[in-house]
Structure 1
Amino acid sequence: MDEPAEIGRRVQRLRAHLGLTQRQLAEPSYTPAYISTLEAGKVRPSETALRFLADRLGTSFEELSTGRPAHLATELRLALTDAQRELATGSAEQAAVGYRRLLTDAEHLELPAEQAEALLGLGECALETGQLDNARRHFEAAERLLGDEPLPRRARAVRGRAVAHLLAGELRYACYLLEATIDELNGSGLADPEALVLLYAAIIGPYIDMGAHARAAHAAELALALAPQVDDPALVAGMHRQVARTFLAEGRTADADASLAKAQTIYRQLRLRTDLAHCHWMRGYVQAQDGELDLAEQELRTARDMLTAKRAVLFAAQVEVELADVLRRLGRLDEAAELLTALLELGDQHGAVHAGGAHRLLGLISEERGDADVAEEHYVLALGLLERSGASGDLADLCRLLGDLLRRGGRTEAALDAYRTGLGHRAAPGTTTLGPAPAAPSFLQR
């Protein structure tokens, strides 16, 4: 809202244009003296008063209080919806062009809520295209703009920032951001179900990567309990996709597949192709764990093709690691090695966890080819990458592989050191983050 003097001049100008006296404008709710004081800029009118005056003056509350024609803000919001649709169904790069233009328009019109929405959209585009530093900057800027808003309004920005850190291999910090926000929501009396489902679903992935399966399962249970209170179907679908990971970690493959089927149905209805690709990805992973390798290859290739078409290079590269593992297990070692080598040649831009996974698979392939020295090199490279990211569950498995390789080569002491390192990463399951697990919302504790 503008300063009182500016609002007063605007009221006076509109009143004079319509040929109204101060008494005619004021009646029946206000006095001529109040209108005189308001036009002189000596009083800040309430929203109720401005809405009354806007109706009498034939304008909108927004135009009277800010000087901005209401249709401009409405057109901007409609354009933001178009950009969201482009991101969901088309190209992230094209959507980013629209979001950048809308951010400039929102800044010019001094509409902070719309600026934040455009920044959130730019952050999501940057996540899809693998520009993680840009994604973090956009989410941080959105969070600053929403700094005076209630915490539920800032949940999307926090979640986006955490996902950017997660994809960069910074699992511990991603967990810290999400846990701290969940605790703040639950402790502030602002336990908004939609914000909590968004955050609980986001934290499942890093928990599993860090080996904190008990925490992941608990977060999934809370998300499922809150889901009936959420109206956003895309958010519910995303929750089902993440919950499937906890079912899989518990060996409940049928439940995992059922969750993914629910998510896919919603995504097809909404035409959210990136999220639908994630479902194919997860279903392929489930089928691979269940030994259905031909079906898994088909699902993973579908996911990769969809993500490549969307130019979601970061996610597409991560799917290729899963696909290479399936190809290796099918005995197609050359094809798997070629896929992984091409991935690693792109550099460490796809995050330490997935680069570590690629080196681990190349180590397995080298072992199967009988080249122990090359296998050891890949395992050691993978170990360094995973230690940097804090992926405890993967680290323990990798240390076992390295230890077995060293033991078979007669290097018993080195093998024991590798096993001890692996045991250290398995010593305290569920305690790999920076503090105790977040408490459940009070309305779910009864």
Structure 2
Amino acid sequence: MGRRVLRLRTERGLTQRQLAEPAYTAAYVSTLEAGRVRPSDAALRHLAERLGTSPDELATGRSPRAATELRMGLTDARRTLATGAARDAADAFATLLDRARHLALPAEQATALLGLGDCALESGELATARQRFEEAERLLADEPLPRRVPAIRGRATAHLLAGELRYSCYLLESALDELNAAGLHDPDALLLLYTAAIAPYMDMGAHARAAQAAELALALAPRVADPVLVAGMHRGVARTLIAEGRTAEADASLAKAQELYQQLHIHTELAHCHWMRGYVHAQDGDLPRAEEELRTARSMLASKRAALFTVQVEVELADVLRRRGKTDEARELLRPLLATPDPTRAESAAAGQDGAAAGPASEAAGGLTAERGAVHAGGAHRLLGLIAEERGDLEAAEEHYCAALSLLERSGAAGDLADLCRLLGDLLRRTGRVEAALDAYRTGLGHRAAPGTTTLGPAPADPPTPH
């Protein structure tokens, strides 16, 4: 501060006495400029007035305008991300993060890190996303828990997309329990956490918990002003309605979310609505409409370079194509998505045909693996197994089913795992391997969590009902 006072005084052509009078002495200003004393609040106001600046800028070296411009820039970067331009948004957030660090503004640094984490999720860079969210959480360590919830939700989403369903649940449930135990009944934070918990619950087959989270989210929605949170809640609730066979209600919930995203010009989330509406139509048996919605979602996500989400949609689109009898198209769509080659088409790879089948989004995504989109990787292997079985290639079918089994067991996707074990067991039984078939059926009935993973404990407590 002493150096700032000296610089500003010199720039304005003032002597130490002129700056000090009438309330202070030249000796006091000299001592302050030498860094041997810090001014009181009253002295700070006096000096700032004489130097033509604000007390805050004199004390910190940053102007209120710089901080305001930084916050405006963060809002603009978030808007850029909302339109689906993740790479442009990441560049903006990185520049703003450097500026926030230079200005020593920890809250703005955390906001920039959250933005970078969301950009990394969009592009499928899950390790980078986790790192960014962890950095944001550390910066906010001394803040109340509601301020840290977006970072916790981001970490949980990154673990979910990596196939670590149980750990994703653990992060969300721990935050919910801490919020409720501490009496921090922040509706925005609670809605964000309950909505985020629906997806891992559903993938794990914990449908009762997913339904409970959806019910609590719906009860919180009237107390939340942020339309983005409300739209996300409608999307999450739709998943539980689909599982309960309430497809018309699910479609209505998605329509509400879609309307909000259109109003807000949030293109990537709008693509997710098309994705889920495609799933609803598929569950309802309306395969032409399902294909149309999924193709729309795929096109929107690919155009915005949301690589991981694009390949996940492609798996679900391939399922619809197979069910519509477009088996070859489904197979060609699936093959580039997996990190390992399709054993049923090794001859095509040798002939150099693989490159023609792989779309730009798939290549950018780098494929689905155990660490990146494990549940959908298992789904892709399952579909390729079904296609191979329909073609009479039982060896290739078994290979794909076993690959899917390994992926789904690791991730804990119980519902998908049970269906897969039935398929594998049926195939083994038809080929005369009864004992192996029994083992597959038993796995589907009672699989255990891998050692060292977090198991689901008691469900999080409900927040108290507001009076």
Query: Structures share a fold, TM > 0.5?
Result: yes
Give 1:105 deviation, angstroms: 1.0
Q: 1:59 and 1:377, CA in 2 relative to 1: closer, same or farther beyond 3 A?
A: same
Query: Does the 8 A contact of 1:393 with 1:426 survive in 2?
Result: no
The reply on whether 1:383 has 2:410 as its aligned counterpart is no
Matched with 1:405 is 427
* Shift in Å, 1:395: 0.8
Q: How does 1:19-418 map to 2 (within 5 A)?
A: 45=40, 58-345=52-339, 346-349=366-369, 350-418=372-440
How many angstroms apart in 2 are the aligned matches of 1:221 and 1:36?
66
Amino acid corresponding to residue 459 of structure 2 in structure 1: A
Q: Shift of the alpha carbon at 1:78?
A: 1.2
Residue identity in the other structure for 1:308: A
- Written as runs of structure 1 = structure 2, the 5 A alignment for 1:5-16 is none
| Contact kept in structure 2, 1:22 and 1:36, CA below 8 Å | no
Question: How far apart, CA to CA, are the structure 2 residues paired with 1:434 and 1:177?
Answer: 11
For the residues of structure 2 that align with 1:6 and 1:178, how far apart are their CA atoms? 47
Kept in 1: contact 2:381–2:403 (CA 8 A)? yes
Question: Shift in Å at residue 67 of structure 1?
Answer: 1.7
Give the CA deviation at 1:37: 11
My pick for the range that moved more, 326-335 or 6-15, is: 6-15
Q: State how far apart, in whole Å, the 2-side matches of 1:89 and 1:200 are.
A: 25
1:140-177 CA distance string (max 9 Å, x none) = 11111111111111111111111111111111111111
Instruction: Output the CA distance in 2 between the equivalents of 1:282 and 1:45.
Output: 60
Change (3 A) 1:53 1:298: farther
Deviations 1:30-50 (A, max 9, x none): xxxx9999999767756x996
Rate the CA distance shift 1:41–1:264 in 2: closer, same or farther, 3 A: farther
Shift of 1:351: 1.9
- More displaced, 13-22 or 179-188? 13-22
Is the CA contact (8 Å cut-off) linking 2:195 and 2:236 kept in structure 1?
Answer: yes
> Could you tell me whether the CA contact under 8 Å between 1:140 and 1:161 is conserved in 2?
yes
Structure 1 residue 434 displacement after superposition:
3.3
TM-superposition CA deviations, 1:183-241 (whole Å, max 9, x none): 11111121211011111111100000000000000001111111111111111101110
- Partner of 1:331, secondary structure, is coil
The CA distance in 2 between the partners of 1:121 and 1:98, in whole Å, is: 9
Q: Is the 8 A contact 1:392 1:426 kept in 2?
A: no
Cα distance in 1, alignment partners of residues 103 and 97 from structure 2: 10
Give the length in aligned residue pairs: 433
Secondary structure of the 2:338 match is helix
Return closer, same or farther for 1:435/1:66 CA change in 2, 3 Å cut-off: same
Amino acid in the other structure paired with 1:330: R
The amino acid of 2:399's aligned partner reads E
Alpha-carbon distance, 1:415 to partner: 1.2
Residue by residue over 1:322-369, the C-alpha shift from the partner in whole angstroms, topping out at 9 and shown as x without a partner, is 100000100111111111111114444442111111001111111222
SS for the counterpart of 1:438 is coil
In structure 2, runs of 5+ residues without a counterpart are 340-365
Task: Give 1:57 shift.
Answer: 6.7
TM-aligned CA distance change 1:50 to 1:401, over 3 Å = farther
Structure 2 CA distance for aligned equivalents of residues 79 and 296 of structure 1: 39
**In structure 2, distance between residues paired with 1:351 and 1:130:** 9
State the TM-score, normalized to the length of structure 2.
Answer: 0.85
Aligned to 2:353: none
Q: Which runs of 5+ in 1 are unaligned?
A: 27-33
Kept in 2: contact 1:321–1:354 (CA 8 A)? yes
Describe the superposition over 1:232-288 as per-residue Cα deviations: whole angstroms up to 9, x where unpaired.
Answer: 111110111011001111111111111100000000000000000000000000000
Q: 1: CA distance between counterparts of 2:412 and 2:169?
A: 11
Q: Which stretch shows the higher mean deviation, 359-368 or 215-224? A: 359-368
Q: CA deviation at 1:384?
A: 0.3
Q: CA deviation at 1:311?
A: 0.1
Q: Tell me, what secondary structure is at the counterpart of 1:231? A: coil
CA distance in 1, matches of 2:57, 2:158: 38
Q: Which SS does the other structure have where 2:141 is aligned?
A: coil
Distance 2:242 2:414 in 1: 18
For 1:190, the aligned partner's letter is L
Conserved in 2, the CA contact under 8 Å of 1:38 and 1:45?
no
The aligned amino acid for 2:462 is A
- Three-state SS of the structure 2 residue aligned to 1:442 is coil
The structural deviation recorded for 1:61 is 4.5
In 2, distance between residues paired with 1:50 and 1:275? Answer: 49
Check conservation: 1:25, 1:53, Cα contact below 8 A. Answer: no
- Output the TM-score relative to the length of structure 1: 0.89
Asked if structure 1 preserves the Cα contact closer than 8 Å seen for 2:311 and 2:337, the reply is yes
Mean Cα displacement is larger for which, 368-377 or 255-264?
A: 368-377
Q: Distance in 2 between matches of 1:425 and 1:165?
A: 21
* Stretch of structure 1 that moved more, 181-190 or 365-374: 365-374
